[in-house]
Amino acid sequence: MAAEVDVERLTTAIEDFNPIFIRLPSVRRFNFSTLSVLHTLSRSGPLRLTDLLATEQLKQPALTSLVTKLEQDGLLQRRPDPTDGRAMLLSLTRAGRQVVRSRHTERVTKLSRLVDRLTPEERDILASSIDVLNRLTEIAAEERL
């Protein structure tokens, strides 16, 4: 029989952990929207602005302004969509990919220090949770949450 999941407690745990996780990297600080766009393009790009709009919690004028700033900062680039000459595809530049990589690397390092402080039993539980969290991410993507 499957164990009951205390979703209220899970939600609180994620809400409490998320700010810690977000702040782990100390390299080059960015606001949440910027990081979200960089992360989305690193995982799913190149994307049209309209596709990016579906994943970000921004209105089109704000996202357009953010994309323009990221392009000016050399972190993303626009190029014509080969399937539709009227549309543009957004993708990370080398510098944008480096930002994402360096933040990931620093998170791995700092999170490793935290994980090392867990008991062996706690590390076993955490290890078995990785696939479940990945599956929840897949389900959310399918439902476009």
Which domain CATH number covers 98? Answer: 1.10.10.10
- What is d(CA 90, CA 31) in angstroms, rounded to the nearest whole number? 19
Would residue 15 count as lying in a domain? no
Segment 63-71 mean pLDDT? 95
- Please tell me the total count of domains within the chain: 1
pLDDT at 29: 75
Would residue 113 count as lying in a domain? yes
Segment 47-57 mean pLDDT? 89
119 DSSP 8-state letter: -
Would residue 131 count as lying in a domain? yes
- What is d(CA 133, CA 57) in angstroms, rounded to the nearest whole number? 21
Question: Can you give the residue range of the structural domain that contains 137?
Answer: 28-143
Asked whether the whole model's pTM tops 0.85, one would answer: no
Would residue 105 count as lying in a domain? yes
Burial zone of 77 (CB within 10 Å; 0-12 exposed, 13-18 middle, 19+ buried) = middle
Average pLDDT of every residue of the chain: 89
Q: How confident is the model at residue 75 (pLDDT cuts 50, 70, 90)?
A: very high
> Given a cut of 90, is residue 91 above it in pLDDT?
yes
Segment 80-88 mean pLDDT? 87
Q: How confident is the model at residue 111 (pLDDT cuts 50, 70, 90)?
A: very high
Q: How confident is the model at residue 27 (pLDDT cuts 50, 70, 90)?
A: low
The CA radius of gyration of the chain, in Å to the nearest whole number, is 18
